[in-house]
């Protein structure tokens, strides 16, 4: 089997031959990057290939989205703060546009996210006197929001991240303490959300989604949460692994161990927010103006190893979604350092496939 370098070189040579043969009209023959394999076609035997998008990238990424992806996630447009910014006022324009795009191009749609401690307007947790609402009032507001979203988009969205990031990062603390949902409703708010979601759309697949989900300390808490929900007959169908990783960490062995344990839960696994930062997490690595060849090689190697592992677990992994499409639009720019550029995805700033792309299609 040819390496990704050989495949890319063959594509370039063929393009130049066509260019010469047609008197300099190679761009027409190359149109739509016909010589580049389709991600969704390559991975159709294994799992869906998805990407998170905003309405601002639908047009620039149109060709890439239609060719390479079978599933979409709204990056922010379905979050509480985007659709219900103030009491009694709803704004669905951005979410509607993304859902309409998915309909138009026959793409699956993941819903993200219904209940999360972040990006929720303060008014959700307050009464008219600006005091905290009661458990009963907040449960009703939770139900109203879940039903509103799931009824509006139920004909397109097949899977929802019902609860996002409920597990604490603190040692010996189970559920996140800085969640107003938890503070006001109590420990059962996660179960309540899943039951409400199932009542709103009995056909939807319901997921718990979190970051650091392969790190042993967090992983074991997530497994405990899911097992407790299962024991209480709470309808939950899958776990979402956010997979905001980097080119150094976590190790393939760590990811493998987590997938082995999650697979024992008897539910689906979605890789929901995949990207590979070129910087170690919170490291003091000097900022780069552009990625070096060595960095791109390492990123390609890592992507290749990770996707080889995903293919091994394709009996439980049913969707792998990138958190973005190309390096010109990524949440990792300016994070955690203002002015820092990152290149975590498969396509570069010119929307061309990177070595990382070739490493996962050439296997």
Least confident window among 21-25, 185-189, 317-321, 350-354: 21-25
Is 140 an annotated catalytic residue?
A: no
Least confident window among 33-42, 106-115, 211-220, 253-262: 33-42
Is 165 an annotated catalytic residue?
A: yes
The single residue of 48, 75, 268, 273 carrying the catalytic annotation is 273
pLDDT at 33: 65
Mean pLDDT of 4-20: 45
| pLDDT at residue 16 tops 70 | no
What percentage of the chain has pLDDT greater than the value 90? 86
| pLDDT at residue 12 tops 50 | no
Phi, psi at residue 157, to the nearest 5°?
A: -75, 120
- CA dist 61 and 314 (Å) reads 27
Mean pLDDT across the chain, nearest whole number? 92
pLDDT at 106: 98
The single residue of 165, 183, 257, 290 carrying the catalytic annotation is 165
pLDDT digits (tens, 9 = 90+) for 227-273: 999 999 999 999 999 999 999 999 999 999 999 999 999 999 999 99
């Amino acid at each position: 089997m040819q390496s990704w370098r050989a495949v890319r070189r063959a594509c370039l040579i063929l393009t130049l031959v066509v260019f010469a043969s047609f008197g300099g009209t190679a761009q027409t023959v190359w149109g739509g990057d016909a010589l580049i394999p389709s991600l969704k076609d390559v991975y159709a035997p294994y799992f869906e290939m998805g990407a998170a998008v905003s309405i601002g990238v639908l047009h620039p990424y149109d060709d890439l989205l239609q060719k390479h992806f079978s599933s979409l996630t709204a990056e922010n447009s379905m979050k509480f703060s985007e659709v219900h910014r103030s009491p009694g006022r709803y704004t669905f324009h951005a979410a509607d546009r993304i859902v309409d795009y998915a309909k138009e191009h026959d793409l699956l749609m993941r819903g993200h996210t219904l209940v999360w401690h972040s990006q929720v307007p303060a008014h959700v947790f307050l009464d008219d006197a600006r005091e905290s609402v009661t458990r009963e009032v907040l449960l009703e507001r939770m139900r109203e929001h879940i039903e509103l979203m799931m009824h509006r988009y139920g004909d397109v969205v097949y899977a929802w991240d019902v609860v996002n990031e409920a597990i604490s990062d603190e040692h010996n603390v189970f559920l996140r303490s800085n969640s107003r949902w938890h503070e006001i409703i109590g420990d059962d708010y996660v179960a309540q959300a899943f039951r409400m979601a199932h009542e709103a759309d009995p056909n939807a697949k319901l997921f718990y989604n979190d970051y650091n989900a392969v790190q042993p300390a967090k992983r074991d808490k997530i497994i405990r949460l899911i097992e407790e929900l299962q024991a209480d007959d709470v309808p939950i169908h899958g776990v979402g692994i956010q997979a905001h990783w980097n080119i150094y960490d976590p190790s393939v062995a760590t990811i493998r161990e987590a997938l082995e344990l999650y697979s024992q839960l008897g539910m689906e696994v979605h890789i929901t927010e995949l990207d590979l930062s070129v910087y170690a997490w919170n490291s003091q690595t000097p900022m780069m103006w552009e990625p070096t060849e060595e960095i791109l090689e390492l990123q390609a190697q890592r992507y290749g190893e990770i996707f080889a592992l995903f293919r091994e677990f394709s009996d439980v992994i049913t969707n792998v979604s990138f958190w973005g499409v190309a390096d010109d639009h990524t949440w990792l720019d300016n994070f955690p350092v203002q002015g820092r550029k990152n290149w975590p995805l498969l396509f570069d700033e010119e929307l061309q496939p990177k070595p990382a792309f070739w490493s996962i299609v050439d296997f």
